[in-house]
Amino acid sequence: MSKTPVFQLCVLLAGIALAGAAGAQVASACPDLPGNAGLTWEYRGSGDTQLCRALRPDGSEVFGMAITAKPTFEPSRSDRAERSQVGGRDVYWYRTEIAAKPGVEAREALLELPDGRSAHVWLQADSEEKLEADYQLLQSVNFGAPAQVAGQ
């Protein structure tokens, strides 16, 4: 499995963190969350990059996404795991490894948004059941009009 996408994401996140722009719930930059999920967005942005992390009330991350003008994730077919939906759009999920968290189910997906930007979506779960529950939440995220599947 390639560790390059995770490294690229870490570099992207570090750059956004250094930029210091932060906000709590930023409806215009992050998609709408399912109303009954009890989640809030943590938002950080810099230039044309928006980082949105869906957080539980205890502050733990359920899933996150980097919304950028150009894709920040290059999927590898050999890492393809499952197919589901994010915001009503079909996506392929790709396995990834997190060196500091062996045994964690980590997935990444890429989708093209209606305005031409890309969303690199990721999640981590301690079990297959939690992974499925997170997939269910992501189906209800609202980006707007449907777009094509990216990374095929």
DSSP per position, 41-86: EEEEEETTEEEEEEE-TTS-EEEEEEEESS-S----GGGEEEEEEE
- Tokens matching residue 149: 């599947």
The closest of 91, 85, 70, 99 to 6, measured between CA atoms, is 99
Q: Give the CA-trace dihedral at 128, 43, 17, 71, to 10 degrees.
A: 70
Which residues have C-beta within 8 Å of that of residue 17, sequence separation ≥ 6? 44
What is the distance between the alpha carbons of residues 79 and 128, in angstroms, rounded to a whole number? 17
pLDDT tens-digit readout, 119-145 = 999 999 988 899 999 999 999 998 864
Mean pLDDT of the region 90-110: 89
The closest of 60, 59, 29 to 44, measured between CA atoms, is 29
Which residues have C-beta within 8 Å of that of residue 148, sequence separation ≥ 6? 89, 112
- pLDDT of the residue at 28: 54
- pLDDT of the residue at 14: 40
Task: Provide the 3-class DSSP secondary structure of residue 124.
Answer: strand
Higher pLDDT, 97 or 12: 97
